[in-house]
């Protein structure tokens, strides 16, 4: 197995099993063995040959064509093998509910999972608290408690604690929520406003929009929809937060509306979930599927099938830190198979990221993965039965027996793409040369495809590399042919519309959602941000996150760390 030095360092710090002195007691090869063998134990439940599947899983992951989300790599085989990356927990309007969820969140965080919460059921600031005769402090004050707790737990936990805080656009405290990241770092939270269709209609008509007290259901006051929207734009422009989730769009594709409404996503936005639901993600590394200038669809089909089975198996051998989550996840059996290495794959095919051929290919690839994973889930249903909440689901109405309520999600792949040495998720390259510090070691990353092409085409030189180190892009380099410059356009050289179109092309064939940061240059104006949010809604995206280069940014997770 060939790992880059950076991958070896990441594996050593976070993923390899350690003894009590903190020394690794396995190597990366043994890590993959541990993961494959642990997941394949699930096959025994269905009276299948676990060794056969262990070998298949091992071949798939050790070739770096597929990797499951980090918690699966870290925790498989441990006594508390929590394998899921994504969770959503409910919060009701009582101290008991808030602190029960805080405890559950602490346990999830400790296991390396990220959690989303919708705080909208909490009565607004200044409302009455009958039991004490006091005054309510509002959702934002409770978010601060969650943030502080995350700070403390993460010090002993597996990785940085990630949370998503959501507030509905019609909550009376919406302005305070939108502004919070301009005032406080709240560094363990990404925040998103849950925007409804009726809000967007009010915005388009330049109408007033009612803010409603969730406790009394009464309209507290009416404000111009544009005033709320402008506040979202202002804060997002300044800090990257809040993002927006289009909650009605999300619920239109809720596969199990009879079980509940979706009111939040996981921390990076790619996974809408019901309260108490979890999801295990895994990503195929598309850079490994280019053969003779084409995508090898035959091999892809084969691997989609194995990866789908891997993720379904993972549910059965996960140790759930919260019993309610176990019940919900085993009821819907959501899994999220996606891709990484998209920018690499396009370079290998010679297609610029912002060319219409890239959009067409994105749709073709994702449609293919979606169809084949649905087919694999149907075959699993024949073998193992449909997911327990199938009756009453959208799948039942369509007459399609499924083992999993959803099968596809596109994750950021922040860390697993480093392990697999590929570009992250569906993002374009952020820079072609950059430095990254991991603990005490500084790594220099220069795009490996670019080096190869530069050598082949004869523009490789010390001077070329030095210029690249300085700029990070090919802009202004006379010795580089135009065709190559187009092929290696970086995130900030791609227009926001092109970023959104790529997200939309993938979303079209993704059951869950797509993680994507719309990277904007520093000089992007607020009007541009407003236009981008509206375009995202019109394109049918489930959510949108922007990041303006150089803007103040509290959280670490959004601009994919691995660029």
Measured between alpha carbons, how far is residue 32 from residues 36, 241, 308, 337, 420 in Å? 6, 37, 17, 19, 12
- Does 92 qualify as catalytic in the annotation? no
154 binds ligand UDP (CB under 6 A): no
69 binds ligand UDP (CB under 6 A): yes
Choosing from 75, 118, 254, 266, the catalytic residue is 266
The 242-271 site mask, x for binding ligand UDP (CB under 6 A), equals ------------------------xxx-x-
Name the DSSP class of 84.
-
The answer for residues whose C-beta is within 8 angstroms of residue 114's C-beta and 6 or more apart is 85, 86, 87, 108, 161, 162, 163, 164, 266, 267, 268
85 binds ligand UDP (CB under 6 A): yes
Q: Figure out which of the listed residues 28, 172, 412, 428 binds ligand UDP, where binding follows CB under 6 A.
A: 412
Residue matched to tokens 């403390």: 152
CA distance 251 to 343: 30
- Cβ nearer to ligand UDP, comparing 105 with 162: 162
Choosing from 69, 75, 268, 354, the catalytic residue is 268
Measured between alpha carbons, how far is residue 20 from residues 17, 25, 246, 436 in Å? 10, 10, 46, 29
Q: How far is the CB of 454 from ligand UDP (least distance, A)?
A: 29
Q: Figure out which of the listed residues 75, 354, 404, 413 binds ligand UDP, where binding follows CB under 6 A.
A: 413
CA distance 386 to 404: 7
- Does 206 qualify as catalytic in the annotation? no
- Cβ nearer to ligand UDP, comparing 61 with 474: 61
Choosing from 43, 270, 348, 427, the catalytic residue is 270
- Does 266 qualify as catalytic in the annotation? yes
| Residue 22 burial (10 A CB sphere; 0-12, 13-18, 19+) | exposed
Q: How far is the CB of 18 from ligand UDP (least distance, A)?
A: 18
CA distance 408 to 368: 11
Helix axes 95-110, 139-154, angle to 10 degrees: 30
The answer for residues whose C-beta is within 8 angstroms of residue 339's C-beta and 6 or more apart is 283, 284, 285, 286, 365, 366, 369, 410, 425, 426
Check: CB of residue 265 under 8 Å from CB of residue 254: no
- Cβ nearer to ligand UDP, comparing 91 with 513: 513
CA distance 35 to 25: 15
For residue 506, give the nearest of 438, 411, 432, 423 by alpha carbon: 411
159 binds ligand UDP (CB under 6 A): yes
- Cβ nearer to ligand UDP, comparing 75 with 393: 75
- Cβ nearer to ligand UDP, comparing 71 with 352: 71
Q: Which residue is nearest to ligand UDP (CB)?
A: 114
How many residues contact ligand UDP, by CB under 6 A? 19
411 binds ligand UDP (CB under 6 A): yes
86 binds ligand UDP (CB under 6 A): yes
- Cβ nearer to ligand UDP, comparing 63 with 213: 63
- Cβ nearer to ligand UDP, comparing 412 with 428: 412
- Cβ nearer to ligand UDP, comparing 86 with 300: 86
The answer for residues whose C-beta is within 8 angstroms of residue 332's C-beta and 6 or more apart is 255, 256, 259, 274, 277, 387, 389, 404, 405, 406
Bridge partners of 280? 335
Q: Is the peptide bond before 14 cis (omega within 30 degrees of 0)?
A: no
416 binds ligand UDP (CB under 6 A): yes
The 358-397 site mask, x for binding ligand UDP (CB under 6 A), equals ----------------------------------------
105 binds ligand UDP (CB under 6 A): no
CA distance 160 to 128: 36
Q: Which stretch binds ligand UDP (CB under 6 A): 5-13, 180-188, 406-414, 462-470?
A: 406-414
Q: How far is the CB of 410 from ligand UDP (least distance, A)?
A: 9
Bridge partners of 517? 545
Check: CB of residue 246 under 8 Å from CB of residue 542: yes
Q: Which stretch binds ligand UDP (CB under 6 A): 154-162, 365-373, 504-512, 543-551?
A: 154-162
- Cβ nearer to ligand UDP, comparing 237 with 342: 342
Q: How many CB atoms lie within 10 A of CB 350?
A: 14
The 110-139 site mask, x for binding ligand UDP (CB under 6 A), equals ---xx-------------------------
414 binds ligand UDP (CB under 6 A): yes
Residue ranges binding ligand UDP (CB under 6 A): 69-70, 85-86, 113-114, 159-160, 162, 266-268, 270, 411-416
**Residues classed as catalytic:** 266, 268, 270
């Amino acid at each position: 197995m060939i790992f880059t030095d950076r991958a070896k360092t990441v594996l050593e710090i976070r993923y390899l099993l350690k003894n009590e002195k903190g020394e690794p007691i396995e190597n990366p090869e043994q890590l993959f063995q541990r993961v494959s063998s642990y997941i394949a134990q699930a096959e025994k439940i269905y009276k299948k040959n676990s060794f056969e599947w262990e070998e298949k899983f091992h071949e798939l992951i050790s070739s770096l064509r597929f990797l499951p989300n980090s918690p699966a790599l870290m925790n498989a085989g441990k006594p508390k093998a929590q394998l899921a990356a994504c969770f959503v927990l409910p919060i009701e309007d009582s101290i008991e509910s808030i602190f029960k969820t805080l405890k559950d969140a602490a346990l999830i965080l400790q296991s390396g999972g990220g959690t989303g919460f919708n705080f909208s059921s909490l009565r607004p600031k200044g409302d009455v608290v009958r039991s004490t005769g006091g005054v309510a402090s509002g959702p934002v004050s409770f978010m601060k408690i969650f943030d502080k707790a995350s700070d403390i737990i993460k010090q002993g936990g597996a990785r940085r604690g990630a949370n998503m805080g959501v507030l509905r656009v019609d909550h009376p405290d919406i302005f305070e929520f939108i502004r919070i990241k301009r005032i406080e770092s709240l560094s363990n939270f990404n925040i998103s406003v849950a925007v409804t269709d009726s809000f967007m209609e009010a915005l388009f008509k330049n109408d007033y929009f009612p803010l409603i007290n969730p406790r009394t259901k009464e309209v507290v006051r009416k404000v111009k929809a544009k005033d709320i929207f402008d506040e979202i734009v202002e804060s997002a422009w300044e800090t990257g937060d809040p993002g927006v989730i289009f909650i009605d769009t999300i619920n239109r594709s809720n596969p199990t509306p009879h079980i509940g409404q979706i009111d939040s996503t996981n921390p990076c936005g790619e996974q809408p979930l019901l309260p108490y639901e979890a999801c295990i993600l895994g990503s195929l590394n598309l850079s490994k599927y280019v053969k003779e200038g084409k995508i090898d669809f035959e091999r892809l089909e084969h691997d989609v099938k194995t990866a789908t089975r891997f993720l379904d198996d993972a549910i059965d051998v996960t140790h759930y830190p919260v019993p309610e989550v176990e019940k919900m996840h085993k009821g819907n059996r959501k899994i999220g198979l996606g891709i990484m290495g998209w920018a690499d794959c396009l370079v290998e095919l010679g297609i610029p990221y912002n060319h219409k051929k890239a959009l067409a290919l994105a749709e073709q690839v994702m449609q293919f993965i979606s169809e084949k994973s649905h087919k694999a889930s149907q075959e699993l249903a024949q073998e193992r039965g449909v997911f327990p909440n199938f009756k009453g689901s959208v799948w039942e109405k369509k007459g399609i027996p499924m083992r999993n309520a959803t099968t596809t999600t596109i994750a950021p792949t922040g860390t697993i793409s480093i392990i697999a040495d590929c570009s992250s998720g569906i993002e374009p390259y952020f820079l072609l040369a950059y430095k990254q510090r991991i603990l005490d070691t500084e790594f220099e990353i220069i795009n490996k495809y670019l080096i190869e092409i530069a050598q082949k085409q004869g523009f490789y030189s010390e001077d070329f590399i030095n210029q690249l180190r300085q700029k990070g892009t090919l802009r202004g380099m006379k010795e580089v042919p135009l065709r190559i410059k187009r092929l290696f356009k970086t995130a900030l050289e791609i227009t926001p519309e092109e970023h959104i179109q790529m997200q939309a092309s993938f979303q079209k064939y993704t059951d869950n959602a797509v993680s994507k940061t719309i990277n904007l240059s520093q000089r992007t104006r607020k009007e541009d941000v407003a236009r981008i949010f509206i375009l995202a809604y019109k394109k049918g995206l489930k959510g949108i996150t922007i990041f303006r280069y150089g803007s103040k940014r509290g959280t670490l997770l959004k601009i994919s760390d691995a660029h």
